Structure 1
Amino acid sequence: MIKIKKIGQVIFSSPVYTFSVIFLIVLIILSLIAPLLPLDPNATDVSNMSQPPSLAHWFGTDEVGRDYFIRVLYGGRVSLLVGVLAMLTATTIGTLVGLTAGYFGGLIDSILMRLLDVLSAIPWLVLVIVLSVFLKPGLTTIIIIIGCFSWMGIARLIRGETLAAKERDYVIYAKFIGIPPFKIIVRHILPSVLPTLIVAASASISGAIMTESALSFLGMGIQQPMASWGSLLQNAQSSLQRAPYMAILPGLFVVFTVYSFNNLGDLIKSILQREV
Structure 2
Amino acid sequence: MIKFRNLLFSSPVYTFSVIYLVLLFLLSITAPLLPIDPNATNVSNMSQPPSFEHLFGTDEVGRDYFIRVVYGGRVSLLVGVLAMVTATTIGTFVGLVSGYFGGWVDNVLMRIVDVLSAIPWLVLVIVLSVFLRPGLSTIIIVIGGFSWMSIARLIRGETLAAKEREYVLYGQFIGQSASTIIFRHVFPAVLPTLIVAASASISGAIMTESALSFLGLGIQQPMASWGSLLQNAQSSLQRAPYMAILPGVFVVLTVYSFNNLGDMIKAILQKEV
**TM score, norm. by length of structure 2:** 0.99
Which residue in the other structure is 1:261 paired with? 258
**Cα distance between partner residues in 2 of 1:228 and 1:10:** 33
Matched, 1:57 2:54: yes
Which residue in the other structure is 1:215 paired with? 212
What SS class does the counterpart of residue 143 from structure 1 fall into? helix
Matched, 1:10 2:7: yes
Matched, 1:108 2:124: no
- Of 23, 37, 40 in structure 2, the residue corresponding to residue 40 of structure 1 is 37
Which residue in the other structure is 2:188 paired with? 191
**Cα distance between partner residues in 1 of 2:167 and 2:3:** 30
Matched, 1:93 2:87: no
Matched, 1:241 2:213: no
**Cα distance between partner residues in 2 of 1:13 and 1:94:** 33
For residues 216-242 of structure 1, the C-alpha deviation after alignment (integer angstroms, 9 at most, x for no partner) is 000000000000000000000000000
What letter matches 1:222 in structure 2? I
Note the C-alpha offset of 1:273. 1.6
Matched, 1:77 2:74: yes
Matched, 1:131 2:128: yes
Matched, 1:271 2:272: no
Matched, 1:151 2:169: no
Which residue in the other structure is 1:224 paired with? 221
Q: Aligned runs of 1:157-176 on 2, under 5 Å?
A: 157-176=154-173
- Of 22, 25, 28 in structure 2, the residue corresponding to residue 25 of structure 1 is 22
Provide the alpha-carbon RMSD of the alignment.
0.5
For residues 107-133 of structure 1, the C-alpha deviation after alignment (integer angstroms, 9 at most, x for no partner) is 000000000000000000011000000
What SS class does the counterpart of residue 153 from structure 1 fall into? helix
Note the C-alpha offset of 1:95. 0.2
**Cα distance between partner residues in 1 of 2:227 and 2:12:** 28
Matched, 1:252 2:265: no
Note the C-alpha offset of 1:275. 2.0
**Cα distance between partner residues in 1 of 2:80 and 2:233:** 22
What letter matches 2:55 in structure 1? W
Which residue in the other structure is 2:199 paired with? 202
Question: What stretches of structure 2 of length at least 5 have no aligned partner?
Answer: none
**Cα distance between partner residues in 1 of 2:107 and 2:242:** 51
For residues 62-115 of structure 1, the C-alpha deviation after alignment (integer angstroms, 9 at most, x for no partner) is 000000000000000000000000000000000000000000000000000000
**Cα distance between partner residues in 2 of 1:21 and 1:102:** 34
